[in-house]
Amino acid sequence: EFARKRLQDTKELRRVAGGSKFDIHEYEKQVGSLTARVEKAQFDLDSCTIKAATDGYVTQVRVRPGQMAVPFPSFPVLTFVNLDSIAFIAGFSQEPLTNIKKGNLAEVIFPAIPGRSFQAHVVRVLPTMAEGEIAPDRKMFSFNTQLPAGQVPVQIKIDDNISTYDLPLGTDAVVATYDMSSPFWSHVAIIRKILLRMQSWQYFLRFH
């Protein structure tokens, strides 16, 4: 504001008494430079306000008063948990992959909820696994390295209401899927359901 006032006075002086035109250019340059600094400072200040794109909550805040946050994605200052969509992912070995299809029945048991099984169904089989990722590197990919056999991620949806149990995100569970398209697998599914319920009842035995 002081620089703008000085520029205005210099223009008025030139109009009245023939002041220096060079001084006017210098003060205009100074006003423009200071205005740009103010705009940059305002942008930096506005960037300090973090707005969530969806409903959720913040956990694990890693920044403390006095620390400086820098715009590097590899060093986040907090973790945001998105509550708009919660996915249940189960990992299956690759042998039964051809029998796991969208819409198949499934059952879920939780170690935190012993003696209970919950009905679910397969939403989709995810088309990629972490073992198929190739990171950019200056070295060529070699098959001499023994790659582990990864598990196939399968997204499921629990049909029963489990909201009353207040399970935290990341809770461990056991999932079984059933292919009921043939009579043979229907009989096997009955055995698997019995074994799953036996395993769920074993969770009552806990030693801390």
Distance CA 195, CA 198 (A): 5
Catalogue the long-range contacts made by 4-7 (C-beta closer than 8 Å, 24 or more residues apart).
4/31, 7/31
Spatial distance between the Cα atoms of 57 and 59, rounded to a whole number of angstroms: 7
Is the pLDDT score of 208 beyond 60? no
pTM to 2 decimals? Answer: 0.65
Q: 13: buried, middle or exposed (CB in 10 Å: 19+, 13-18, 0-12)? A: middle
- Higher pLDDT: 205 or 111? It is 111
The proportion of the chain whose per-residue pLDDT surpasses 70, expressed as a percent, equals: 95
Average pLDDT over residues 147-155: 85
* Model confidence band, residue 122 (pLDDT cutoffs 50, 70, 90): very high
Q: Please give the pLDDT value at position 19.
A: 64
